[in-house]
Amino acid sequence: MVESFEQLNWLEIRDCHMMEEIILAEESMVEERMCKIFFPNLAFLLLQDLPKLTRFCSGNYLVLPCLWKLKISKCLALKTFISSFIFGDMIASSENVKNTCTLSLFDAKVVFPKLERLVIEHVKSLNKIWNDQLEVDSFCQLTLVSVVSCEKLMNIFPFSMVERLQRLDKLQIQNCDSLEEILESPELGVSRSQAQKAITLPLLEIVTCLEDGVKDGIVFSKLKYLQLCGVPRLSSFCSVKCKFEFPFLKEVILMDCPSMQTFSMDEIRTTRLQKVKLAGDEDKDFWDGNLNSTIQLQFMQKGQGDSKN
């Protein structure tokens, strides 16, 4: 069975404080793995101020071939975008969900081939955005990803998504207190060719860490601007020994990253970078020959200042 909404091209749902689900498929169809929900022309979707929403729909597949922007804001109970009735019932039970594996917002059941802009704000129950199993064409057109105040997230992207991020030019991450890395540590079996892909990120407003043990290093070939803001558990850009090169990086701004001790665990090349700005009550510029030693210096000075106080 296919549930299709052919004429709908713009959908906004706001301030429905009792809503738990947007579309409820027939349970018999979901159990038989026959339910496919199809929005052939939907281009924009906004879900905002839906504190009891646990999922967008129940079903086996959700296909939005024309969706270019998705914004999710203040959906405090949301953990996954689409689920079967079995998982839906488990989500509703706080005792059961503790005993299940971590749910992700998106998995292979959602098909978003044209999604360019993804904004996720104040989704406090969200543990993971993507899992490792995605449809081949999904999320390959992303140009903007913005994640704000998602307190349980520990990373943004699984390592398997690296090749899908070639169009990404702006990444914004703010006030994610548990965040430890942007790109999740690669699992065993990830190919070296995947890890060595040059990621094209002309504008990154907040980046945390890219992890891999690749000998030849990773190049951010177009990154010009890097700002790290409100990431209290961040200790470095990369927590695994890996060489990095940023040939066009000109500006680095740090703000409220009290645990950051160094930028990377291995050699880093930033041929155009000449200063690091510490933003706060009084903006200050630091430079000590290279990015690693500059961040190490400011961390030591901050520690000395704290000990005096």
What pLDDT score does 50 carry?
Answer: 98
List, for residues 82-100, the tens digit of each pLDDT value: 886 544 454 444 444 443 4
Q: Phi and psi for 82 in degrees, rounded to 5?
A: -140, 140
Is pLDDT larger for residue 70 or for residue 7?
70
Residue 199 has pLDDT above 50, yes or no: no
What pLDDT score does 67 carry?
Answer: 97
List, for residues 14-68, the tens digit of each pLDDT value: 999 999 999 876 655 545 555 678 899 999 999 999 999 999 988 778 889 999 9
Strands 276-278 and 284-286: antiparallel
What is the model's pTM? 0.74
What pLDDT score does 214 carry?
Answer: 40
Alpha-carbon span 174 to 230, nearest angstrom: 6
CB 181 within 8 A of CB 208: yes
What pLDDT score does 216 carry?
Answer: 56
What pLDDT score does 182 carry?
Answer: 74
What pLDDT score does 270 carry?
Answer: 92
List, for residues 96-124, the tens digit of each pLDDT value: 444 345 789 999 999 999 999 999 999 99
What pLDDT score does 3 carry?
Answer: 61
The residue behind tokens 């209290």 is 232
